[in-house]
Amino acid sequence: AMARLGYDVVAVDCDRGMLQQVAASAAAAGVGDAVRCVEAAGEDTGLEAGSVQLATILQAFHWMDAPRTLREARRYLAPRGVLVLAWNDRCLETGWVCELEALIEKYNPHYDRHLKQYDPDAWTPVLTQPLGGGDLPGFELVAHRRYANDCSFDGADGLIAVLRTYSYVAKALSD
């Protein structure tokens, strides 16, 4: 979307297959020249210092080493650059969803809902603390927003198919 608006876009991912999808989608949309793909981890992107105005990390930050990723973001962001983080959370106020979450926790001891989902009490100190041993400022939190993400399933088989796409469920099923 940003490339269609005339912005240069750099897609960073450690998964070559995901970057191939980005490149193919950009080419199909006629903006392939405006999208550059970089195969790298979020903790060490190799992007030029101060070169990024807007960075988005969507449904991936919880997989990264938070302090290292934030230091790296502070390095590549321009002086007034913005970092946007987004989580795709489930509604834990819904009874069966809460029960499902308890099952995920029971069968995958490595899963921590407070880190995999956005919990301001857990994440605010991580995001705002000084970086790099205190020589870099943490990030100022401008806003927390929640948006409804309604989805429906085609019965139990549909729900199971979606659950198999959650890496922490797939890991529990394979163990």
Task: Quick: pLDDT tens for 23-40.
Answer: 999 999 999 999 999 999
Average pLDDT over residues 163-171: 74
Average pLDDT over residues 121-141: 85
pLDDT of amino acid 116: 66
- Of 123, 112, 52, the closest CA to residue 81 belongs to 52
Structure tokens at 129: 């603390």
Q: Say what percent of the chain tops pLDDT 90.
A: 42
pLDDT of amino acid 114: 65
Judge if pTM exceeds 0.75: yes
- Of 34, 28, 25, 36, the closest CA to residue 7 belongs to 34
Of the CA atoms within 13 Å of residue 88, those in its CB half-sphere come to 8
What tens digit of pLDDT does each residue of 95-129 get? 888 888 888 888 887 777 766 677 788 888 888 98
Output the average pLDDT for the chain: 86
**Phi, psi angles (nearest 5°) of residue 99:** -65, -40
Rounded to whole angstroms, what are the CA distances from 146 to 17, 75, 91, 92, 112?
Answer: 30, 28, 11, 13, 20
Angle at 167 between CA 166 and CA 173, to 5 degrees: 90
* Confidence category of residue 21, pLDDT binned at 50, 70, 90: very high
pLDDT of amino acid 173: 66
Residue 172 has pLDDT above 70, yes or no: no
